[in-house]
Amino acid sequence: MDRRAIVVPGLPKAGPYSHAVEAGGLVFLAGMIPIDESGVVVKDDVRRGTALALDNVRKVLEAAGLGLDRVIKTTVFLRDMSDFAAMNEVYATYFTASEPARSTVAVKDLPAGAPVEIEVVAAR
């Protein structure tokens, strides 16, 4: 099976991983936190954080030649499940044409104190 790593110039990464890997017609994105190109992380606002994390998802997908309409599965990690409604409200504005399958999980902590992290699987 062919495998292609996708790394987006200007999008920060915190370790030994690719922003995404394509294999078998699927593109698997690493979890995206709300971090801007200068390395600043949104820590205090799940709405802004969700939007920025999904903007980063969109950048990685575009680097792979895809759009949000090709997403088939997302996993949303929330630092606080009481932020679910706010996250969901913003999330819904990004997936308007075809809603992917989704899991949402509460976790104890996320990298850099982020309130949300989103990982995605998309289909070519």
Token reading at 103: 């899991």
Percent of the chain with pLDDT over 90: 91
Q: Please tell me the predicted confidence (pLDDT) of residue 14.
A: 72
Q: What is the average pLDDT across 64-90?
A: 98
* pTM (two decimals): 0.96
Token reading at 37: 């190109």
> Is the predicted pLDDT of residue 86 greater than 80, yes or no?
yes
> Is the predicted pLDDT of residue 13 greater than 80, yes or no?
no
Q: Please tell me the predicted confidence (pLDDT) of residue 15.
A: 86
Closest CA to 21 of 38, 1, 41, 39: 1
- Type and span of the H or E element at 120: strand 116-123
Helix (H), strand (E) counts: the chain:
2, 6
Token reading at 83: 């932020």
Report the C-alpha gap between 18 and 28 in whole angstroms: 10
